[in-house]
Amino acid sequence: MQLNILLAVLLQTVGSFFFAYSAYMQDRVVVAEVSENGDKAKLDWRTLWESMKSPRWQAGLALLGASLACQITALSLAPVSIVQPVGVLAFPWSMIIQSRKHKVPVPTAARVAAVGTVLAIGGFIIVGGINAAPESNDLDPWRVVIGAGVVYLVAAALGFIGSRGPNQWRCLFWASGGAVFYGLEASLVKSLMEFAKQTDWVHAPAFWGTLVALVIGSATAGWMVQHGYASGPAELVVASMTITSPVVAVIWGIAVLGEGAHLDPLSATLMILLGAAAITGVIRLTTVHPHFDDDAAAEAAAEA
């Protein structure tokens, strides 16, 4: 495996920790603000603004920025279909952070699931790294446009269900909608890098159109994730994002960027199985680790 891929994986691993801690900090603030309004299923603009003024929320935003910096640097070194799946590690990080903050030991079943998830992701990265295709020199702008349009439609549908669906499903669908956009964000960043290498990007409409789609998608993703925090536990938000975002990025890398050109049937099958194992591990973690959302408001108020 190439050294640049190893460095990219290390950066994304660090970034996944920053993301998990950011989610923990912002969730505490948003839940406290929404609880004061007596409506935990809804986050209005006033409540969001009050949350954003909190130093704790702003610290979480700074960590999110650090996570993004790690991700962008990693994407400059390796294919998006290898970098983005490493983000699955954010959920084990989230579990560890919550357990340490609340001084509750991680159950054995959760430890086993976390180790299994890490091993599966490690295997996925190794297989993908060995079979990584060289950078394409013929990125088709129309593939980017069509791909982004499809992702926007999927995210919009998930957001609609999150806003109109049953209360018990709102957190999952809000977070999944945000995760789809975050997966697109990583994919578009990689696409912009490819456009910049292949064209006179200053005068390329495809570059600027992609940049606009990236900015709008990123802002919408943040808005949807905050609704997820208001509707349910941070662990569920992180879990749904770590499952959905890599799937979007891997599909994009293969279908749009041509990163799967060197994959043979055996390697492709192995990557699918390892990816499924990692997703299964995250789903298992959501059911066996302790949940701390009930005291989120009290904790945030005490630390304010």
What is the predicted pLDDT for the residue at 304?
A: 46
Question: CB–CB of 63/19 below 8 Å?
Answer: yes
Question: CB–CB of 151/184 below 8 Å?
Answer: yes
What is the predicted pLDDT for the residue at 62?
A: 94
Least Cα distance to 256 among 210, 201, 222, 220 occurs for 210
What is the predicted pLDDT for the residue at 297?
A: 47
CA 45, 47, 53, 56 torsion-angle sign: negative
**Digits of tens for pLDDT over the chain (304 positions)?**
578 888 999 999 999 999 889 988 887 787 777 766 555 456 677 777 778 888 888 998 999 999 989 999 998 888 888 888 888 888 888 888 888 877 878 788 888 888 888 888 888 878 877 776 666 667 788 888 888 899 999 999 998 988 887 777 888 889 889 989 988 888 888 888 888 887 777 888 888 888 998 999 989 988 898 888 777 777 778 777 777 888 888 888 888 888 777 778 898 899 889 888 888 887 787 677 666 555 554 454 444 4
What is the predicted pLDDT for the residue at 291?
A: 60
What is the predicted pLDDT for the residue at 10?
A: 94
Give the Cα separation of 19 and 290 in Å (integer): 20
**Computed over its alpha carbons, how large is the radius of gyration of the chain?**
19
Question: CB–CB of 9/125 below 8 Å?
Answer: yes
